[in-house]
Amino acid sequence: MIGEQPIRVGWFAGVSALAVVAAINDTNGGLYIALMGEFGRPEDAGAYSMMALESGPFFTMVTLGIAGLSGFPWQTLVGAILPLAAGVTLGNLDPDLRDFLSKAMPALIPPPSIDDQESSKVGQCNR
């Protein structure tokens, strides 16, 4: 059982619960949207909204809460999933709004990719 402290012996020595959660609950959304926009169908690129449940803060908070490693107020959990629910609802109820908002998909590719690259500090490997 992984607790708050890292594992001390065995193959997984030094691995913490945070490392496990980060490895399981993360995908590169910018890369996925770019690849699906270039090589896939529009429906494939639109599927990232469902992937955002897994790679966004919602399942990370649920995972850490279930493991007993952290506690989050219910308002935070609702705030993490509310934008997705609102977008799915509005997109399915109003075809004109869906067409209008779908034109912004290329503009959504750089921000998550820049954030991923900045947080990984890959540039420091050459020093």
Per-residue pLDDT of the chain (127 residues; tens, 9 = 90+): 556 677 777 777 788 777 777 777 777 777 787 788 788 887 787 777 777 777 777 888 888 888 777 788 889 888 888 888 888 888 889 889 888 877 776 676 666 556 555 555 555 555 5
Q: How many CB atoms neighbour CB 116 within 10 A? A: 16
The number of domains in the chain is 1
Scan for tokens 């399981």, then name that residue. Answer: 24
Q: Considering the domain boundaries, does residue 41 fall inside one?
A: yes
One-letter amino acid for residue 87 of the chain? G
Asked if 33 and 45 count as a contact pair (C-beta separation under 8 A), the reply is yes
* Structural domain includes residue 30: yes
Please check whether residue 23 lies inside any domain of the structure: yes
Host domain of residue 79: 17-118
Q: Considering the domain boundaries, does residue 110 fall inside one? A: yes
12 domain-assigned: no
